Structure 1
Amino acid sequence: MAPTTASFDQVGYWSPNTASVDWCESNYVVTYYIAEFWNSVSSLFIILLGELGLYLCPTKERRFKVAFRTISVVGIGSVLFHGTLRHKMQLLDELPMIYAATALVFICTETKYGPQGQWFPIGLATWLAVTTTVVSIFGGKLQFYTFQASFGVLQLSIIYLTTTLHRQQKAVIAARGGTNESTWLIQRALGVYFFAVTIWLIDLHLCEFINGVGPDSVLRWNPQLHAWWHVFSITGVYFTTLLVAYQHYVGKGLSPNVYLWRGFAPALTLDGASRKKAL
């Protein structure tokens, strides 16, 4: 959290701050109307990747509409949260993150174990309702760490499901004479995301040494690590969502391939027969 200094304590349009966390960016420095300017601007990249993923998705299955569109909703909430540092806006940032991760857990579980029946979506919806209530009611460190714990469990579940599916599908893809491109996706998803988590932890726990304004700062300027966390973390999430989609299509007997849209954005493609089968 941000240290208590004159720079961090500047008053702005949305003051006073009511969120359970105040990140390392100095508040209301760039403009009186935006609490954390760079954290807000970088959140626009989250919206962009969510919409790009939806646009490039080779099929219009509802599960992937939800998966990519919730990424966009996370970005919108992140803009509102960092722009205001208000508790209600924080919920619009954090709760969609839990919903997006839950959507991926649902897809991965059905890909690995097959359709689970009505009990599974009902169970997930009940869990989301309880989590939403707890995170919404409580404030301060309890709210912050409850969210982090819930989101962490979902992340670990996604890592477990995707890596075990990767091993499970190796033989299937080889038998079809294809290339297992999930290896490429896993390496990039984990590499980018773990780098993002590293700079997030530095920003959260070592702010006083890197904020560029406090007496203990070893830097003369703030590197805005939380803003970079937005860029790298959502890139990792994008790779993960592509991985989940890739494994879903393989599980349906299709042959997805990874390509670079416009030469830079990873996306999936299906041949004509596979596309018709998926639809």
Structure 2
Amino acid sequence: MATAVASWIPSIPYPPSQDGRWSPVTSTLNWCEEDYYMTVYSAEIVNTLTNLLFMYLAGKGIHNCLTNGHDTVFTVAFIGYLIVGTGSFLFHATLKYPMQLVDELSMIYTTCLMFYATFSYGKSKLYSITLGVALVVMALSITLYYHYLQDPTFHQTAYAVLTAIVLFRAIYVMEVNIRPAFRTKEREDANPRSGVLGEAAQNREDARDREILRQMWVLIAWGLSIFLGGFAFWQLDNAFCFTLRSWRRQLGMPWGFLLEGHGWWHLMTGIGAYFYIVWGIWLRHCLNYKQDDYELVWPRITVMPLVVKKAKTQANGGRSNDKMKAKKTS
């Protein structure tokens, strides 16, 4: 297949691998991309440069949090996301064990931040402090045990379990607090507008919340699909490395770069993780009854979503109208 395609497309032959600036390799992992074939300053050039998307999206997220007044925990989460991308950049550029630890452990720490954001919401100060201490202890335990064991499977399993727990908990919180059919009486009574709205206004708010849930589920579906798609590419890279290396050399550069499965893992998990943090921001504002103050801006699937403040006249005007209508009906 690759030979037939390579016969008619213009390409540049792959250079041979060589010793690099950071040789020898000391990491416990070495990926399917060949080492130091492009430059002596980067062991895996595609796997290195694909992390630039992490850095760009982290900057975008941090700027959005600071300019729109999102909770500090999400700014910290995006900083952690930036450290993940930077650590992965340095790891793939050097294939050194210390950089591998920065890459892999920062994934655990950032997930623990999202764990805290998800499980501490609405809880007492004592509960939040206890949870924070427990997560710090857990993160340190994972760090020490992983350094002792030096088994990447342990890290990957710990990361997958933490991510799954946070995801399912966030979905549960979203459904039972926002969907009108599932909302508890305590949640209804906590609404600062409870007792003020007339029936028509309440029906409009319920319709608004159902539309918000639809948007959130689309966001979750896309983010999770892209994330899992990246994981699938990575596994194909692992399973068929010898064949893929052969095809890359037959295709030449730059077309062979498209067969770098771990590079696709970086791009797709970067997007998926960004979607997840944006969903967390949007969910937190909805839990705080600020649906009329903020909105999800996502005009099409090729654009990265953002949660931004609505214009004050639009947000306040909507509330004033509802209050006036509620007074008329009472």
TM-score by length of 1: 0.85
Q: Is the 2:61–2:75 Cα contact (8 Å) retained in structure 1?
A: no
| CA displacement at 1:14 relative to structure 2 | 1.1
Q: Is the 1:166–1:183 Cα contact (8 Å) retained in structure 2?
A: no
Q: 2:306 aligns with which of 267, 270, 275?
A: 267
**Structure 1, gaps ≥5 residues long:** 1-6
Higher-Rg member (1/2): 2
**Structure 2, gaps ≥5 residues long:** 1-14, 184-203, 317-330
CA distance in structure 2 between the partners assigned to 1:149 and 1:59 by the alignment? 34
Q: 1:246 aligns with which of 282, 292, 298?
A: 282
Q: Is the 1:36–1:83 Cα contact (8 Å) retained in structure 2?
A: yes
Q: Match of 1:49? A: 57
Q: Is the 1:99–1:128 Cα contact (8 Å) retained in structure 2?
A: yes
Q: Is the 1:40–1:79 Cα contact (8 Å) retained in structure 2?
A: yes
Q: Does 1:258 align with 2:296?
A: yes
Percent identical pairs in the alignment equals 24
| CA displacement at 1:213 relative to structure 2 | 6.4
Pairs within 5 Å for 1:1-150: 10-57=18-65, 58-111=68-121, 114-115=123-124, 116-139=127-150, 142=151, 144-150=152-158
Q: Secondary structure at the match of 1:269?
A: strand
CA distance in structure 1 between the partners assigned to 2:16 and 2:102 by the alignment? 23
Say if 1:251 and 1:118 are closer, same or farther in 2 by CA, change over 3 A: same
The residue type equivalent to 2:102 in the other structure is L
| CA displacement at 1:65 relative to structure 2 | 1.2
The residue type equivalent to 1:121 in the other structure is G
Kindly provide the CA deviation profile for residues 145-200 of structure 1, in whole angstroms up to 9, marking residues without a partner as x.
Answer: 11111101111112211221232222269537342221121111111111111111
CA distance in structure 1 between the partners assigned to 2:22 and 2:147 by the alignment? 20
The residue type equivalent to 1:188 in the other structure is W
240-249 or 113-122, larger mean C-alpha shift: 113-122
Q: 1:170 aligns with which of 152, 157, 179?
A: 179
CA distance in structure 1 between the partners assigned to 2:179 and 2:224 by the alignment? 19
RMSD: 2.7
CA distance in structure 2 between the partners assigned to 1:60 and 1:186 by the alignment? 20
Q: Is the 1:210–1:218 Cα contact (8 Å) retained in structure 2?
A: no
Q: Match of 2:223? A: 189
Q: Is the 2:77–2:114 Cα contact (8 Å) retained in structure 1?
A: yes
Matched pairs, number: 263
